[in-house]
Amino acid sequence: MRILITAPYNEKGVREIEQLFGEVVYRPWKPHGRAYYEDELIALLEESAAEALITEHDHVTAKVITSFPQLQFIGVCRGTPSNVAVSKATELGIPVFFTPARNAQAVAEMFISTVIMLLRNTIPGINWLKGRNWQEGAHDSYLYFKGGELAGKTIGMVGFGAIGQLIAGMVRNYPCEIRFYDPYVREHDPAYQQCSVEEIFSECDIVSVHLPVTPETTGMINSRLLKKMKKDAIFVNTARAAVVKREDLLEVLETNAIRGAILDVFDHEPPDEVDYRIIDQPHVIATPHIAGATFEVEDHHVEIMNRALKQWFGQGDKKVRELANREILTMQVND
């Protein structure tokens, strides 16, 4: 089988795919400067005569999939296959694999680093120092920028999947008390307390959102919940902007109803005027959607994807044909 890979893939990963399937055509999107659009991807698939595709950000539309119904699988090196017309792939019996845990470590480390930065007033302190404000004999900095410790805080997770659970495992030994809201979690570490979403917002010192965008979660975090937060609480969203009503978040920030916020995602990317009103708040740490942007994430998605493909195709093509008649073929690869 000939595989077209347009996702970033390390040499070891490419060799493993070659050993598993026979031939690889490697055309990563990065040298191209952007994801491949529909017509460009169709041209690449035609040129390579590929029988399967491993992609990251490319536009794998219904037209692309319909043009190549012979594809044996589509691999998506992302947390969700949102760039793929999964329903069309399902209709044609093409399994879709993706890698939701690939950036869990990166996001978890970003959570810890930015929360500590906000608690310790690190950025104002740096700016004060760079502004040449430290005078001889003064202890102003000690008084102005004294902050709090992460230890002893109660952290509430709204959504408790791979990322939320990894953060919980990291911070429990600070120590922190961990609570979570997730109606889909049936079993969990007894050290973590499952709560209502109202309890998370009203009782926790740090509220961190880890939700996918669905009809149920879109706009779920609204004024009713945000106004339940304690005045010294911190709100964190490194997941998806669409789950938060930004006007409501802006209101609690402008009125100093909470201590501050850490945001990595915005309604418009690049941000619009309202987004920048949030970003410019003095008690907000805002980053440009980079919580999951580490060099290691690409190695993680290669490892997860290759392991899934080995497990799947190690059971033979017969299984693919059998499952082709099932309603859902999307394979969620849990790390």
Question: What is the C-alpha separation between 293 and 288, in angstroms, rounded?
Answer: 10
Give the pLDDT of the chain (335 residues) as one tens digit per residue.
999 999 999 999 999 999 999 999 999 999 989 999 999 999 999 999 999 999 999 999 999 999 999 999 999 999 889 899 999 999 999 999 999 889 999 999 999 999 999 999 999 999 999 999 888 776 788 888 999 999 999 999 999 999 999 999 999 999 999 999 999 998 899 999 999 999 999 999 999 999 989 999 999 999 999 999 999 999 999 999 999 999 999 999 999 999 999 999 999 999 999 999 999 999 999 999 999 999 999 999 999 999 999 999 875 444 443 443 333 333 333 33
Active-site residue, selected from the candidate residues 120, 188, 289, 307: 289
113 exposed, middle or buried (CB, 10 Å; 0-12, 13-18, 19+)? Answer: middle
| Strand ranges of the sheet holding 177-181, from the earlier edge strand across to the other edge | 193-194, 177-181, 154-158, 206-209, 234-237, 260-263, 284-286
Active-site residue, selected from the candidate residues 240, 246, 259, 301: 240
Active site residue 269: yes
Active-site residue, selected from the candidate residues 216, 247, 269, 296: 269
Question: What is the C-alpha separation between 164 and 119, in angstroms, rounded?
Answer: 20
pTM, 2 dp = 0.85
Active site residue 289: yes
Active site residue 57: no
